[in-house]
Chain A
Amino acid sequence: MTGKTSKQAMYLRMITASVARRKSRMLIALLAVVVGATILSGLVTIYYDIPRQMGMEFRNYGANMILVPADSTQGGMTRESIDEAASHIRSDELVGVSPYHYENLTINATPMVAAGTDLEAVRATSPYWYVEGAWPSKPGEVLVGLQEAETFSLKVGDKVTITYTVTGDDGRDAIEENPVEFTVSGLLDTGGSEEKYFFISQEDMESLTGKELTYNVAELSIQANAERLQEIADDISSSVPTVSPQVVKRLTTSESTVLTKLQALVLLVTIVVLALTMICVATTMTAVVTERRKEIGLRKALGASDRSIMMEFMGEGLLQGAIGGLFGAGLGFAFAQLVSTNVFNSSITFRPILVPITVLAALLVTGLACTIPVRNATNVDPALVLKGE
């Protein structure tokens, strides 16, 4: 065994023995580091995940992009062109696409407007629709806007005959009438203009009109910020000439305002909490090291150099920092996961980069916290320290 390795072995033994023997005190210091590291990794994970998670909540406001036919004189959009437009959006960004085909129909010769749509998709793009009763689930069921329900005095469960009139080329003479009986499955309450329409499935609309459907408008709910939305819109309008995408400015502008504020809030909170916790960790470490002045004095009396004392204490502190940092990184992720599942019902992405960052931060704080008291102690005359002040 060479002298160097035995020296290293001794150094390691001193550090580990000190950690193992002075259990309770070491535990206190370690606990402080773990708490600090947990808060660091937990809050930073949450901070980075906020835009994605909160952005999802903002989709409750409904569609933030609409597609309309590029040339309205050419009639509506086909399902293919809508699907093609939607294919320009990454699947993890796209929340839903709901196409609408509006048609003038009559009930007992009274005119009304019905929309044929993909009712499943509507539930994703317009989560705020409040349906009294049930959503139409089988053919022959209709969802009636609250205002129209009052006009036609319809209740849930009522039967209603909806008539499609095939008109001649001049659009005036009725050539043929196609009455179909529908059951009212639910009443739609939105507080907005949707209450003025009837909603049926695309298949029902197709069998009613007897034509293949083209769509007047398609609503898209996309989880993206204002710039990305504009990018998508430009992309669609240049590659799909038949549709004209429009960003719903009201939603995007407001969303970025509010989301920016929310993220700033979490950032500031994170900074304040981190700063205070790190100082707390440092004071605890300082208290634990200060207590060992006598030991330092004894070592100095035995002839240890300031440097070797410094090295040993730093080694001890850094060992605690590393262990605490590792534990903290794990616990912090667990905390972030807990927050994410409780608040947003979704899991959080693990960021491996945070583990070294947390450990480094823990090392830095413990290192700094040890330096000051150890330096103070080494500056003191060992005789004075050993005498007890």
Chain B
Amino acid sequence: MFFRMIRGMLTRQTGKMAMIAFTIALGASLATAMLAVMFDVSDKVNQELKTYGSNITVVPKESSVISDLYEVDGQADITKAYLREDELGKIKTIFWTFNIVDFAPMLDARMTVNGTEAPVVGSWFNHHLDLPTGEQLDAGITSMRSWWEIVDGRWLDEAKSGDDQRVMLGHNLAEKLGVGAGDTISIKGSASSGSYEVAGVFDAGGDEDDQLFAPLDLVQELSDTDGKLSSIEVSALTTPDDETSRQAAKDPSKLTIAQYETWYCTAYASSICYQIQEVITDSVASPVRQVADAEGAILDKTELLMVLITILALLGSALGISNLVTASVMERGQEIGLLKAIGATDRAISGLVLTEIVCVAIVGGIVGFGVGLGFAQIIGQTVFGSSIALKPMVVPLVVVLVIAVTLLGSISAIRTALRLDPVEVLHDR
């Protein structure tokens, strides 16, 4: 009998039920979309902030002590310490390997370019890496110097044949030498010399405008520093530093084992630095505070902002759902009065009405969840150009929200309806 009544209600009053389901679906989709975006927003913004360049630099241990201020040419090569190029791949083997989005080795040298002395930097441009984990990565300065404006020519492309013998010039240097893209310049290093074509001239708006950038192998060959690097720039997704992580960074051995594990297993800039130091021999990795701190502040704010907007949206959808449910239950005062008059208990009536509404809520909730995921993807694709990853936490949250709101909305309305005298209700007041 119970099921027949419910089935009857659901099949006969389709219009009304569809409207309730529709509203619940709307509320649920709003909740799903907002929660999905909220949980993923910090990852997405973090990716965007990578345009500011590296947030960790790795230098050889000795050079971080001996300031390179005193390095005079010639002498520099004798005392200078280097990192090893063959260890570069190890950066992608640390615990937080998936948080390392990009890195570029740097080799600084001073060379004679067309008779003028100029700083030369050897690096990767878009170096293709096939990692043992199966991940593929194009690492290098093409992505880590996204703010460079190419004023003449083009970016070096490592995949292009012949580009390993081409170089890029800062626009100040290019002006000084009077050369542009396509011209050939002679470079004389400490070991050998040669003529190379200029692929492009860039405007970096900083010191790099006076420098020459060339493929790493080329600079190593010219200055006889095979397999050596002066520094590595790393761009990593990090969790904003807090007081514990700062203390930990100073001396990890002072932490208790539990603290150490929490620190090691959180993607703080300091713990990623520590892990890089573990795999690169004789290195000092330190966060670039200008980038790391600002990133932390912006991430915190964005997240908090989204949390508050999400709360508003959730409140809105909760009130929307419970409002409609309350209205639809109130409307059925007469029916409830009739049921009471023919002897139904309060419990039986509540059970009946609630089951009906929960059935509708489940259908509406499932549809709404699907639609909400769609909305989240639209937001992700439009704003960030990538899909929003669905955190598993969203599912239970939406389920609990929809059921709790529906039940709360209907229970209070049923209470009011039950309190009414059946005689009055049936008489139409």
Do the beta carbons of B383 and A190 come within 8 Å of each other?
no
Do the beta carbons of A57 and B290 come within 8 Å of each other?
no
Known: A35-B316, A284-B23. A57 touches B301 (CB 8 A): yes
B45 at the binding interface (Cβ < 8 Å): yes
A247 at the binding interface (Cβ < 8 Å): yes
C-alpha gap A113/B30 in the complex (Å) = 58
A126-B290, A264-B382, A338-B308 known; 19 other A-B pairs, CB under 8 Å? A25-B327, A28-B323, A28-B326, A32-B323, A39-B316, A57-B298, A111-B70, A128-B294, A130-B293, A190-B289, A191-B292, A192-B289, A246-B205, A248-B206, A258-B51, A276-B27, A276-B30, A283-B26, A291-B330
Do the beta carbons of A130 and B206 come within 8 Å of each other?
no
Known: A338-B308, A339-B308. A32 touches B65 (CB 8 A): no
- Residue ranges of B at the interface with A (Cβ–Cβ < 8 Å): 19, 22-23, 26-27, 29-30, 33-34, 37, 41, 45, 48-49, 51-53, 56-57, 64-70, 146-147, 149, 203-206, 246, 286-294, 297-298, 301-302, 304-306, 308-309, 312-313, 315-317, 319-321, 323-324, 326-328, 330-331, 375, 378-379, 382-384, 416
C-alpha gap A23/B51 in the complex (Å) = 57
**Chain B positions within 8 Å of A250 at CB level:** 52-53, 147, 204-206
**Chain A positions within 8 Å of B37 at CB level:** 265, 269
C-alpha gap A257/B294 in the complex (Å) = 15
C-alpha gap A254/B149 in the complex (Å) = 12
- Residue ranges of A at the interface with B (Cβ–Cβ < 8 Å): 24-25, 28, 31-32, 35-36, 38-39, 42-43, 46, 54, 57-58, 60-62, 111-113, 126-130, 147-148, 150-151, 189-192, 196, 246-251, 253-254, 257-258, 261-262, 264-266, 268-269, 272-273, 276-277, 279-281, 283-284, 286-288, 291, 335, 338-339, 342-344
Do the beta carbons of B52 and A61 come within 8 Å of each other?
yes
Do the beta carbons of A128 and B23 come within 8 Å of each other?
no
Known: A24-B416, A253-B147. A277 touches B320 (CB 8 A): yes
C-alpha gap A262/B56 in the complex (Å) = 24
Do the beta carbons of A284 and B330 come within 8 Å of each other?
no
Do the beta carbons of A42 and B323 come within 8 Å of each other?
no
Taking the nearest CB of chain B, how far is it from the CB of A104, in angstroms? 10
**Chain A positions within 8 Å of B290 at CB level:** 61-62, 126, 128, 190-192
14 CB contacts below 8 A, A to B, read A25-B327, A28-B326, A35-B315, A58-B294, A128-B294, A151-B67, A192-B290, A196-B68, A257-B51, A266-B309, A279-B26, A339-B305, A339-B308, A343-B304
C-alpha gap A57/B299 in the complex (Å) = 10
Among the listed B52, B68, B327, which residue makes an inter-chain contact with A291, where contact means beta carbons less than 8 Å apart? B327
Taking the nearest CB of chain B, how far is it from the CB of A65, in angstroms? 10
C-alpha gap A280/B333 in the complex (Å) = 23
**Chain B positions within 8 Å of A39 at CB level:** 312-313, 316
**Chain B positions within 8 Å of A269 at CB level:** 34, 37, 306, 309, 313, 379
Among the listed A150, A253, A281, A286, which residue makes an inter-chain contact with B320, where contact means beta carbons less than 8 Å apart? A281
C-alpha gap A268/B385 in the complex (Å) = 13
C-alpha gap A59/B246 in the complex (Å) = 22
C-alpha gap A201/B308 in the complex (Å) = 43
Do the beta carbons of B320 and A272 come within 8 Å of each other?
no
Do the beta carbons of B301 and A191 come within 8 Å of each other?
no
Do the beta carbons of B416 and A249 come within 8 Å of each other?
no
Do the beta carbons of B69 and A113 come within 8 Å of each other?
yes
C-alpha gap A251/B387 in the complex (Å) = 27
Taking the nearest CB of chain B, how far is it from the CB of A321, in angstroms? 15
Taking each of B291, B327, B328, B378, which has the highest tally of chain A beta carbons within 10 Å of its own beta carbon? B327
Do the beta carbons of A277 and B323 come within 8 Å of each other?
no
Nearest first, the 6 A-B pairs at minimum CB distance are: A249-B205, A280-B320, A60-B294, A128-B293, A253-B147, A254-B51
Do the beta carbons of B383 and A277 come within 8 Å of each other?
no
Among the listed B57, B291, B383, which residue makes an inter-chain contact with A261, where contact means beta carbons less than 8 Å apart? B383
C-alpha gap A273/B49 in the complex (Å) = 26
**Chain B positions within 8 Å of A60 at CB level:** 293-294, 297-298
Do the beta carbons of A196 and B67 come within 8 Å of each other?
yes
C-alpha gap A328/B359 in the complex (Å) = 33
In the complex, residue of chain A having the shortest beta-carbon distance to the beta carbon of B273: A191
Do the beta carbons of B204 and A249 come within 8 Å of each other?
yes
**Chain A positions within 8 Å of B33 at CB level:** 272
In the complex, residue of chain A having the shortest beta-carbon distance to the beta carbon of B368: A276
In the complex, residue of chain A having the shortest beta-carbon distance to the beta carbon of B56: A191
Do the beta carbons of B289 and A189 come within 8 Å of each other?
yes
C-alpha gap A248/B52 in the complex (Å) = 12
In the complex, residue of chain A having the shortest beta-carbon distance to the beta carbon of B416: A24
In the complex, residue of chain B having the shortest beta-carbon distance to the beta carbon of A332: B312
**Chain B positions within 8 Å of A344 at CB level:** 301
Known: A43-B309, A191-B288. A249 touches B70 (CB 8 A): no
C-alpha gap A7/B263 in the complex (Å) = 76
**Chain B positions within 8 Å of A262 at CB level:** 45, 302
In the complex, residue of chain B having the shortest beta-carbon distance to the beta carbon of A292: B331
**Chain A positions within 8 Å of B146 at CB level:** 253-254, 257
**Chain B positions within 8 Å of A277 at CB level:** 30, 313, 316-317, 320
**Chain B positions within 8 Å of A268 at CB level:** 378-379, 382-383
**Chain B positions within 8 Å of A273 at CB level:** 30, 34, 309, 312-313, 316
Taking the nearest CB of chain A, how far is it from the CB of B144, in angstroms? 11
Among the listed B26, B68, B206, which residue makes an inter-chain contact with A280, where contact means beta carbons less than 8 Å apart? B26
Do the beta carbons of B379 and A265 come within 8 Å of each other?
yes
In the complex, residue of chain B having the shortest beta-carbon distance to the beta carbon of A269: B309
**Chain B positions within 8 Å of A339 at CB level:** 305, 308-309
C-alpha gap A62/B288 in the complex (Å) = 12
Do the beta carbons of B379 and A342 come within 8 Å of each other?
no
Taking the nearest CB of chain A, how far is it from the CB of B197, in angstroms? 26
Do the beta carbons of B206 and A249 come within 8 Å of each other?
yes
C-alpha gap A280/B379 in the complex (Å) = 21
C-alpha gap A113/B146 in the complex (Å) = 32
C-alpha gap A46/B301 in the complex (Å) = 13
Known: A150-B65, A191-B286, A246-B205. A54 touches B52 (CB 8 A): no
Do the beta carbons of A258 and B288 come within 8 Å of each other?
no
Do the beta carbons of A280 and B287 come within 8 Å of each other?
no
**Chain A positions within 8 Å of B30 at CB level:** 272-273, 276-277
**Chain B positions within 8 Å of A148 at CB level:** 67
Do the beta carbons of A272 and B375 come within 8 Å of each other?
yes
C-alpha gap A121/B345 in the complex (Å) = 76
In the complex, residue of chain A having the shortest beta-carbon distance to the beta carbon of B57: A191
**Chain A positions within 8 Å of B323 at CB level:** 28, 31-32, 280, 284
**Chain B positions within 8 Å of A280 at CB level:** 23, 26-27, 316-317, 320-321, 323-324
Do the beta carbons of A248 and B65 come within 8 Å of each other?
no
In the complex, residue of chain B having the shortest beta-carbon distance to the beta carbon of A254: B51
Do the beta carbons of A265 and B289 come within 8 Å of each other?
no
Known: A262-B45, A339-B305. A276 touches B379 (CB 8 A): no
**Chain B positions within 8 Å of A288 at CB level:** 327
